[in-house]
A and B are shown apart, each in its own frame.
Chain A
Amino acid sequence: MPRLSGVAVHGYGAYIPMFRIKASEIARVWGMPDSELPVLEKSVNSLDEDTVTIAAEAASYAIARAGIDPDRIGAVYVGSESHPYAVKPTGTIVADVLGVNSRLLSADLEFACKAGTEAVELVSGLVASGMIEYGLAIGADTAQGRPRDALEYTAAAGGVALLIGKSSEGAIAELEYAASYVTDTPDFWRRNHERYPVHGSRFTGVPAYFHHIISAAKMVVEDGYSLGEFDYIVFHQPNTKFPYAAAKMLGIPAKKIEPGVVCNLIGNTYAASSMMGLAKVLDQSKPGESILLVSYGSGAGSDAFVFRVKEGILEKRGRAPLVSELIERRRYVDYALYLKARGKIRE
């Protein structure tokens, strides 16, 4: 049974760039009806933001909440599908920006939208084994959507970092369970040197997202939990419909999903997407409550985690911006400024 003991979240931090584009503005450009759009609006990084800067800002908030010296961090893993360099790690830049000691494990991870939770799996294992005292697991993206493609409505920008260490007084949440479920499923991919990914349209639903989310949730049940015991359940959210549909299939009431849904207002932040839901839930949870988090990454797989909120949340929550505050801080751009901000205007 993949239960963890003595591993806890000491800090968490989210960052969302301030620009937004309304899905109806994208629909206007391509002559599509603006009924039944997958989200209301999505976040857009500005020209001076990328996965490095987004990861660093989210991680700086996680460190601020934890209140620890960055020199005690022994690992920085950044999961993303939009690392700025094809070869040259994002993690080393982020670590230097944060002022982390060079005695450090660092690597960039890739697993579509679950690259961030993959980092959580790795860091929690390193902490449990005693190899490191604290580690940063970061999911950050400036996701790519081809103009006119269905993904253009949702591919968004944002990042979330978890600072994980040994359990101790003042922790924000115990991480008591971590497991993963993967298969070879070709629902979404991007080949080398290609600027935009390709997806399998309806194939991204039942055999991909739903199969993996549900299989991972069932794994949690097989390992001794019951879905009814969780106070909050967070699923990966590529659009607003999918997490509610998965909950319905599993017999989970919508009110347990609702607190962690952010997709409608910021879009799909890819590697940060399910972690953003977790951050939003931590923003409002109380000590003693439990959270089930199930991510999903195309290609395909799901990571499942159980968190139990601790007393530390009360003191540490207010040390950095809440997800709701970052959502409120927004400025709308039209499609032309969106193209400029995303570097889609080519000479």
Chain B
Amino acid sequence: MHAVFRPPVNWRHRRFRYKLVVWRCLNCGAVHHYATSICRRCRSNRIDEDKLPDRARLITYTVVKNPPIAFEKQAPYIVGLVEFEDGTKLVAGITDCDPEELKPGTELERVVRKIAEDGESGLIVYGYKFRPAITRGR
């Protein structure tokens, strides 16, 4: 089997992808998407577990019409750059809307969606996406 999504990598990132848990370097500010005891950028061992908020604002987006392997059937789809209240930025899939509805500053909320399937027999990968907020901050 020639897997596009390798189970160990996928498993290691699951807390980040399901709940936006990150490991932040207290020395240089680098954000890691998996548990680590040493910063990959500055080698500091001052790492703090943190969770990014469930709401963010859109900075900008693009529409992918020529997708990579395992994403072909989803085209066209929206990929956005979003910013959290604390200034952390993240690239994320944007769902449940058309591009025309989006503009810089649109309020978004996190959902967990199917990101891609590894063919008919491989892993199904789930993770965060953002959609225009419907829960009105409840």
Q: Could you list which residues of chain A lie within 8 angstroms of chain B, going by C-beta atoms?
A: 18, 46-50, 52-53, 56-57, 64, 84-85, 93, 96-97, 99, 318-321, 325, 329, 340, 343, 345
Contact in complex: B115, A48 (CB < 8 Å): yes
Q: Report A224 CB to chain B, min CB distance, Å.
A: 39
Q: List 22 A-B contacts (CB under 8 A).
A: A46-B96, A47-B74, A48-B115, A49-B113, A52-B124, A53-B112, A53-B114, A56-B112, A57-B111, A64-B138, A84-B114, A84-B124, A93-B126, A96-B18, A97-B19, A97-B126, A99-B18, A320-B138, A321-B135, A329-B134, A340-B73, A343-B73
B49 to chain A, nearest CB (A): 13
B80 within 8 A of A: no
Q: How far is the CB of B87 from chain A (nearest CB, A)?
A: 25
- Shortest C-beta distance, A114 to chain B (Å), equals 26
- Which of B14, B73, B124, B126 has most A Cβ within 10 Å? B126
Per the bound structure, the CA–CA distance linking A99 and B21 in Å amounts to 11
How many chain B residues touch A (CB < 8 A): the figure is 19
Among A18, A52, A99, A329, contact of B19 (Cβ-Cβ < 8 Å): A99
A346 to B: closest C-beta gap in Å: 10
Nearest 8 Cβ contacts at the A-B interface:
A48-B113, A97-B18, A48-B114, A97-B112, A53-B113, A47-B74, A84-B124, A319-B138
Contacts of B109-138 to chain A: CB distance below 8 A: 111-115, 124, 126, 129, 134-135, 138
- Asked if residues A53 and B111 are in contact (CB atoms below 8 Å), the reply is yes
What residues of A have a CB within 8 angstroms of the CB of B134 in the complex?
A: 321, 325, 329
A47 and B73 in contact, given A64-B138, A318-B138 (Cβ under 8 angstroms): yes
Q: How far is the CB of A263 from chain B (nearest CB, A)?
A: 23
Q: Known contacts A93-B126, A329-B134, A343-B73; is A50 also within 8 Å of B18 by CB?
A: no
Q: What 0/1 pattern do residues 86 to 126 of B give for CB contact below 8 A with A?
A: 00000001011000000000000001111100000000101
Residues in B with CB closer than 8 Å to A56 are 112
Interchain CA distance A319-B135 in the complex, whole Å: 9
Q: Chain A residues near B14: list those with CB within 8 A.
A: 96
Q: Are A52 and B111 in contact (CB under 8 A)?
A: no
CA distance A318 to B137 in the complex (A): 11
CA–CA, A47 to B113, complex, Å?
9
Cross-interface CB contact of A18 among B73, B96, B138, cutoff 8 Å: B96
Q: Tell me the B14-64 residues at the A interface (CB within 8 Å).
A: 14, 18-19
Q: Which residues of B contact A325 (CB under 8 A)?
A: 134
Q: How far is the CB of B132 from chain A (nearest CB, A)?
A: 10
Q: Collect the chain A residues with CB atoms within 8 Å of residue B113's CB.
A: 48-49, 53
CA A50 to CA B112, docked complex, whole Å: 11
Given the complex, which residues of B lie within 8 Å of A318, measured CB to CB?
138
Given contacts A53-B112, A96-B14, contact A48 B95 (CB under 8 A): yes
**Distance, CA A189 to CA B46, complexed state (A):** 57
